[in-house]
Amino acid sequence: MYHVDIANAGDYSFSVKSKDYEFIVDVKGKGISPPDTLLASIGTCIGVYLRKYTEGARLALPEFNISVDAEFSKEAPICFRKIDVNVDLKGTKFNEQRLKAMHEFVKNCPLHNTIKNNPELALNIR
């Protein structure tokens, strides 16, 4: 099971703790914003699965970059309607068959699947 604790001390800055790591989420510019955190999580999960694929297939992929873009909808409910993930293999070439297999494997990223399957969100305020 995954778990994070989030603390707020009266402003728009939130201290997020996961295992032994802590970082700041802030909407006023003192840390990464909540939407950026979501996009970073999706991009890094896809990156992990890309790395798993290349290592499992014993393919050389020295480095790659991932960019994730999304824009909030203008109408209610305000949300991301589309998230674009672009992977730059930094010059490493693979044939079309390999790229297709890589694409299919990377879609196994749990965060990709979570968003795709519209999970229930249970919110409790006490």
Delimit the domains of the chain by residue range.
Answer: 1-32, 33-126
Q: What is the DSSP letter of 33?
A: -
pLDDT digits (tens, 9 = 90+) for 8-66: 988 999 999 999 999 999 999 888 999 999 999 999 999 999 999 999 999 999 999 99
What is the C-alpha separation between 107 and 126, in angstroms, rounded?
37
Q: What pLDDT does 29 receive?
A: 84
> DSSP 3-state assignment of 66?
strand
Torsion of CA 7, 9, 14, 15, to 10 degrees: -50
- pLDDT tops 90 at residue 109: yes
Residues 6+ apart with CB under 8 A from 32: 23, 24, 25, 26, 40
pTM: 0.90
Q: Does domain 33-126 fall into CATH 3.30.300.20?
A: yes
Whether the CB-CB separation of 25 and 16 falls below 8 Å is answered with: yes
pLDDT digits (tens, 9 = 90+) for 59-98: 999 999 999 999 999 999 999 999 999 999 999 999 999 9
The residue ranges of DSSP E strands in 9-92, in sequence order, are 13-18, 21-26, 65-72, 80-88
